């Protein structure tokens, strides 16, 4: 045996590290892996922030993205918006402190939720070019410009060249950064496709892209109506873990536990507090919440489960909308058939509300690999299933890591044969899913895949199956038509012969007989091209509207 080494020696290099150091070393976890993906990640982070800020401020977004190729294979990315403008006193932390932001602790449906994205861009710019990020912003109070970078060791912002009187003419924020290890490519997982899908799922936004070749693409807003504003909500008692309750209580300044419960959570009235008192008799509801112990909290959480609650407030959710999903699918896939459904909101983990929208497309470009091909991957290689699933979360297109996502998992697990699809991977069929929630449980920091929570998978399955039933009727319609068409042709082949024979037997003119035979066959067998299809589709839509639920097995 080798000589043993002392624990003093082994542990002498024990150190602490900042979250920014961690992500410098593991930038692939933020989505910086592969040059094309990295560029899409940068644009995604900035555009998501702009959309969030505009939505919260009640402004119809005008977003402009400019990408230029610099020397040495580096790129410049500029993103400007007409949003509320980021105040100078927080600009440093917002752009250069990982895990700082307005979103992490709020129960509000937003695209961002972690306080990582924009700081991740600053970090990635620094480690690939050593450059600072330039910001110009105009709020209702100020108009300034500055440069920001991140001190990676301490996870702190470094601000320089602050100019108090900026040159902006309008409210909003513009960000300019330079990046290495990125590449602009007009592929299905590149910036253009990302922005196109973003525009489709955010029809109230106008998005302009100036690409490195100088080509301008303009996605003009389809509606001047702001999307239904997602309301900030409080957590529902059924979604609260014992640990949550203890932490909330210890930070509360409420007079006593009863008041605290009513203040901190949604749907908790004084009447409900009285019910809880009855059930959790061992808990002192008149004590200060700061002294709430684990055991008491556990009793309250158990009591929560025994009280009858009104469900979570659903106006905390904002969807893409059926009409817009239809437009998006037509635009991306140009299918022969499509069906869309918006489900009723549900909850997962007991109390976190979410809602699923689904669309199914058949024919056209459906089923063709559009959005998820990886760099260097062969067309049509092993699993094509990802190519047939268009994924969105909180209206943000997800272009990467699809194989690891609850959405793909749910769609994949459906027994498609029941819906007239023999092999989902091989037929011209695509499914679009958008999941909206105040908290989307992403499986990774890069937020490209939804974690495989059972309740979410189940709900996505039900939504896709809703659409599947409509598709099935369409497909069996087509198949019936094809069967009739074939009968018609077979019979017509005998009409000549038969009319001759009948003419001999009856002595009537074979021409007359032929004409009436033809009329007879046509009236009974000839498919009424087109008409039948159109009707079928209308019927389908009507049924989809009813949105009835059927559980599978």
Q: Which of residues 148-207 bind a copy of itself (CB under 8 A)?
A: 152-153
- Determine if 279 is a binding residue for a copy of itself (CB under 8 A): no
Where in 122-151 is the site for a copy of itself (CB under 8 A)? 126-128, 130, 139-141
- Determine if 412 is a binding residue for a copy of itself (CB under 8 A): yes
Whole-angstrom distance, CA of residue 280 vs CA of residue 217? 61
Region from 282-290, 376-384, 475-483, 489-497 binding a copy of itself, contact rule CB under 8 A: 376-384
The binder of a copy of itself chosen from 187, 256, 284, 443 (CB under 8 A): 443
Q: Which residue has the tokens 């861009």?
A: 121
Whole-angstrom distance, CA of residue 115 vs CA of residue 96? 10
Smallest gap from residue 13 Cβ to a copy of itself (A): 5
- Which of 73/271 has CB closer to a copy of itself? 73
Smallest gap from residue 483 Cβ to a copy of itself (A): 30
Does residue 67 sit in helix, strand or coil?
A: strand
- Which of 145/364 has CB closer to a copy of itself? 145
Whole-angstrom distance, CA of residue 206 vs CA of residue 218? 7
The binder of a copy of itself chosen from 413, 484, 503, 510 (CB under 8 A): 413
Where in 2-41 is the site for a copy of itself (CB under 8 A)? 2-8, 10-11, 13-19, 21-22, 24-26, 28-29, 33-34
Where in 335-374 is the site for a copy of itself (CB under 8 A)? 374
Contact status, residue 64 vs residue 43, Cβ threshold 8 Å: no
Q: Residue 142 is encoded by which pair of tokens?
A: 């100020």
- Which of 357/401 has CB closer to a copy of itself? 401
Region from 209-217, 334-342, 350-358, 444-452 binding a copy of itself, contact rule CB under 8 A: 444-452
Whole-angstrom distance, CA of residue 194 vs CA of residue 40? 7
- Which of 262/451 has CB closer to a copy of itself? 451
Q: Residue 551 is encoded by which pair of tokens?
A: 């559980």
- Which of 27/64 has CB closer to a copy of itself? 27
Contact status, residue 41 vs residue 30, Cβ threshold 8 Å: yes
- Nearest by Cα to 120 from 212, 213, 24, 40: 24
**Pairing, β 216-219 against β 206-210:** antiparallel
Whole-angstrom distance, CA of residue 399 vs CA of residue 460? 18
Region from 224-232, 274-282, 316-324, 391-399 binding a copy of itself, contact rule CB under 8 A: 224-232
Burial class from Cβ neighbours inside 10 Å (0-12, 13-18, 19+) for residue 105 reads exposed
Write phi, then psi, for 369 (nearest 5 degrees): -65, 110
Where in 282-311 is the site for a copy of itself (CB under 8 A)? 294, 297-298
- Which of 165/529 has CB closer to a copy of itself? 165
Distance of CA 307 to the CA centre of its chain: 33
Region from 258-266, 320-328, 438-446, 498-506 binding a copy of itself, contact rule CB under 8 A: 438-446
Whole-angstrom distance, CA of residue 326 vs CA of residue 308? 38
Smallest gap from residue 341 Cβ to a copy of itself (A): 23
The binder of a copy of itself chosen from 78, 166, 212, 441 (CB under 8 A): 441
Write phi, then psi, for 432 (nearest 5 degrees): -105, 135
- Which of 454/550 has CB closer to a copy of itself? 454
Whole-angstrom distance, CA of residue 43 vs CA of residue 55? 18
Task: Show the binding pattern over residues 75-114: x = contacts a copy of itself (CB under 8 A), - = does not.
Answer: ---------xxxx--x--xx--x-xxxx-xxx-------x
Smallest gap from residue 551 Cβ to a copy of itself (A): 14
The CA-atom distances, in angstroms, between 146 and each of 99, 141, 223, 462 are 21, 16, 34, 50
- Which of 141/281 has CB closer to a copy of itself? 141
- Which of 14/551 has CB closer to a copy of itself? 14
Q: Residue 442 is encoded by which pair of tokens?
A: 């992403």
Smallest gap from residue 55 Cβ to a copy of itself (A): 10
Whole-angstrom distance, CA of residue 41 vs CA of residue 75? 14
Whole-angstrom distance, CA of residue 97 vs CA of residue 150? 7
- Which of 226/498 has CB closer to a copy of itself? 226
- Determine if 214 is a binding residue for a copy of itself (CB under 8 A): no
Where in 469-528 is the site for a copy of itself (CB under 8 A)? none
- Determine if 428 is a binding residue for a copy of itself (CB under 8 A): no
Exposure pattern of 40-75 as b/e (b: 16+ CB <10 Å)?
Answer: bbbbbbbbbbbbbbbbbeebebbbbbbbeeeeeebb
**Pairing, β 143-151 against β 216-219:** unpaired
Where in 380-409 is the site for a copy of itself (CB under 8 A)? 381-383, 385, 401, 403-404, 409
Smallest gap from residue 449 Cβ to a copy of itself (A): 8
Smallest gap from residue 480 Cβ to a copy of itself (A): 29
Where in 318-337 is the site for a copy of itself (CB under 8 A)? none
Whole-angstrom distance, CA of residue 508 vs CA of residue 352? 79
Sign of the Cα pseudo-torsion (37, 42, 47, 53, in order):
positive
Where in 241-260 is the site for a copy of itself (CB under 8 A)? 241-243, 246-247
């Amino acid at each position: 045996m080798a000589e043993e080494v002392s624990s003093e020696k082994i542990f002498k290099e024990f150190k602490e590290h900042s979250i920014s150091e961690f992500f410098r070393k593991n930038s692939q976890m933020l989505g910086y892996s592969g040059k094309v993906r990295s560029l899409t990640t940068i644009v995604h982070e900035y555009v998501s922030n702009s959309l969030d800020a505009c939505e919260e401020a009640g402004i119809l977004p005008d977003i402009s993205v400019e990408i230029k190729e610099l020397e040495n294979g580096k790129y410049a990315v500029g993103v400007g918006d007409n949003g509320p403008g980021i105040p100078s006193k927080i600009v440093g932390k917002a752009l250069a402190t990982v895990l700082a932001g307005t979103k992490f602790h709020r129960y509000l449906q937003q695209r961002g939720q972690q306080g990582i994205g924009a700081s991740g861009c600053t970090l990635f710019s620094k480690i690939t070019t050593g450059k600072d990020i330039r910001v110009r912003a105009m709020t209702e109070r100020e108009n300034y410009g500055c440069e920001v970078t991140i001190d990676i060791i301490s996870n702190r912002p470094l601000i320089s060249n602050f100019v108090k009187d900026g040159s902006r003419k309008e409210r909003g924020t513009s960000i300019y950064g330079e990046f290495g290890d990125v590449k602009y490519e007009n592929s299905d997982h590149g910036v253009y496709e990302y922005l196109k899908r973003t525009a489709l799922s955010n029809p109230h936004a106008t998005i302009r892209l100036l690409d490195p070749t100088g080509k301008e693409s303009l996605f003009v807003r389809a509606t001047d109506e702001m999307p239904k504003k997602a309301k900030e909500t409080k957590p529902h008692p059924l979604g609260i873990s014992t640990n949550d309750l203890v932490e909330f209580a210890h930070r509360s300044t409420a007079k006593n536990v009863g008041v605290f419960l009513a203040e901190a959570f949604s749907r908790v009235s004084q009447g409900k507090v009285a019910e809880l008192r009855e059930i959790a008799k061992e808990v002192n509801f008149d004590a200060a919440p700061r002294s709430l112990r684990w055991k008491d909290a556990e009793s309250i959480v158990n009591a929560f489960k025994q009280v009858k609650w009104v469900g979570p407030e659903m106006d905390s959710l904002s969807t893409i909308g059926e009409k817009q999903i239809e437009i998006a699918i037509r635009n991306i896939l140009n299918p022969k058939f499509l069906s869309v459904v918006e489900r009723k909101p549900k909850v997962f983990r007991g109390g976190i509300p979410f809602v699923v929208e689904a669309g199914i497309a058949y024919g056209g470009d459906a089923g063709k690999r559009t959005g998820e091909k990886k760099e260097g991957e062969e067309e049509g290689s092993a699993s094509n299933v990802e190519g047939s699933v268009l994924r969105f979360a909180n209206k943000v297109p997800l272009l990467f890591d699809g194989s690891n996502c609850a959405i793909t998992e749910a769609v994949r697990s459906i027994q498609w044969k029941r819906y007239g699809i023999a092999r989902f991977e091989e037929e011209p069929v695509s499914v679009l899913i958008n999941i909206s929630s105040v908290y989307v449980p992403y499986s990774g920091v890069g937020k490209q895949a939804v974690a495989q929570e059972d309740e979410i998978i189940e709900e996505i399955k039900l939504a896709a199956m809703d659409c599947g039933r409509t598709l099935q009727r369409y497909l069996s319609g087509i198949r019936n038509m094809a069967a009739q068409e074939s009968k018609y042709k077979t019979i017509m082949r005998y009409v000549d012969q038969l009319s001759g024979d009948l003419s001999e037997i009856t002595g009537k003119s074979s021409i007359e007989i032929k004409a009436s035979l033809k009329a007879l066959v046509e009236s009974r067998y000839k498919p009424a091209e087109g008409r039948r299809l159109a009707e079928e589709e209308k019927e389908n839509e009507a049924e989809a509207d009813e949105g009835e639920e059927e559980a599978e097995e």
